[in-house]
Structure 1
Amino acid sequence: MESPPPRPPALRVMRANTAEEREILEAFLDFYRDIVVHKIAGVDDQAARARLVPSMTTLAGLVRHLTTVERNWFHRLTGEDPELPDSSWELSDAHTPSVLIEEYERVCAVSRRAAAGFALDDVIPHPDAGQVSVRWIYVHMIEETARHAGHADILRELTDGSTGVLG
C-alpha cells in the first residue's frame, strides 16, 4: 500500500531543515497541530469520545485539552488572561469532532498571530511559570502537542486501525 503524499505542514518541516530558528519552531508546531487534527478528522462522535485507556484521554478530549493549552500559553501574549476550564478533558454534548477541530484551528490561528508580534527572546509573565520567553512557549507547545499527537496516533489505531503520521 502506497503512503499518501505529505500534507503542507509536513512539507513545511521538510523544507525548514536549514531555516532560521523561528521558522523551524513554527514549522514543527504546525506539523504536530496538523497531526492532531488529522487523527480526529473523519472519526464519528462516538469513536472520538471512546475511552480506550483507563484515563480520560480520548481523541475528542485531546483536541479540547490542546485548545486549552494554546490559550493558556500563546493567548497571554495578547494581554488576555484566558478563562480556562477546570478540566480540559471533560466533554459536553456540544463537543463534536467538527466543533472541536474548528475551535482548535481558530485558537491556533490566534496563537500564530499573537506570537508573530514578539521576538523569541521576549519575556512575559505567566501565573503558573513566572517569567517565560516566547522561545520557551514554542518549545513547550511543541513538546505538549507532539506528546498528545502520539497519544492520538495510538487512540486512532485502537479505533479503526489507522496508523502513522499520514494515516
Structure 2
Amino acid sequence: MPTPSHRGDTPPPRTGGSEAEVLRAFLDYLRASIAAKVDGAPEPQVRTAGVPSGTNLLGLLSHLTFVERATFLGEGVPDWQATFRAAPADSSADVVARYRETVERANEVLDGCADLGAPVPRPREDRPGPSARWALVHLIEETGRHAGHADILRELVDGATGR
C-alpha cells in the first residue's frame, strides 16, 4: 500500500451573491480539484484501472474534457464510453493541458452568457444548446461526481489525499 500523503483541503469558494457567480465559482473549484488529482500522478498508475469497471484517473479527465466540449462548445461525441480512455500516446501532462485549454474555451463561452435562462450559444444553429443554468449545474454534478472518483483512485495510486 502506498504511503499516504496529504495535500491539504481547499475550502469551497466564497463568492459574490449572484447565481452566476456562485455556479461558476463552484464549477471552477471542482475543475481545479480534478485536474490537481491527475496532475503529477505517476505513470503507468495514472492510466491503470483502479476498479473492475476499468475507471482510471487519466480516463476520468479525458471524459470530462469531452463533456465540457459537448456542453459548452457544442461538439458532438459519437461514443461516450470511448471518452473514458486516454490515447496511449497521451501523457498525463497532455491530458491535463487539453482539459485546462477546454475549460478556458468553455469559460469564454460562459463569459458571453448574461442570461442563465438563455441557451448556451452554439456554432451551429440547428443544434440548440441547453440553458446556461442547466449546463452549469450539469457540469457541477458531473465534475463533482468524477472528482470524488478521482479522490479514491489517487489515494489508491500513491496515497495522496486532500483537494
TM-score by length of 1: 0.81
Equivalent residue number for residue 98 of structure 2: 103
C-alpha distance 101-115 of structure 1, shift in aligned 2 (>3 A): same
Give 1:43 deviation, angstroms. Answer: 1.0
**1:122 — aligned with what?**
118
Q: Is contact 1:60–1:95 with CA below 8 Å preserved after alignment?
A: no
| Partner residue in 1 for 2:31 | 33
* Count, aligned residues: 152
Name 2:77's counterpart in structure 1: 84
The Cα of 1:113 is off from its aligned counterpart by 0.3
Corresponding residue SS for 1:92? coil
| Percent of aligned pairs sharing the same letter | 38
Offset, 1:132 = 2.4
Partner Cα separation in structure 1 for residue 6 and residue 73 of structure 2: 40
**Considering only aligned residues, what root-mean-square deviation do their CA atoms show, in Å?**
2.4
Amino acid at match of 1:41: D
1:48 to 43, 46, 49: 46
**Is residue 2:33 matched to residue 1:24?**
no
Aligned residue for 1:147? 145
Greater RCO between the two (CA within 8 Å, min separation 6)?
2
Higher helix share: 1
Deviations 1:43-96 (A, max 9, x none): 1220111111011210000010000000010112xxxxx243621012222221
Give the Cα–Cα distance (whole angstroms) in 2 for the partners of residues 34 and 125 of structure 1.
24
C-alpha contact (below 8 Å) 1:36/1:63 kept by paired residues: yes
CA distance in 2, matches of 1:100, 1:151: 17
Name structure 1 gaps, 5 residues minimum: 77-81
Paired amino acid for 2:107:
R
Distance in 1, Cα, partners of 2:66 & 2:133? 19
CA shift for structure 1 position 19: 1.9
Gaps of 5+ in 2: 123-127
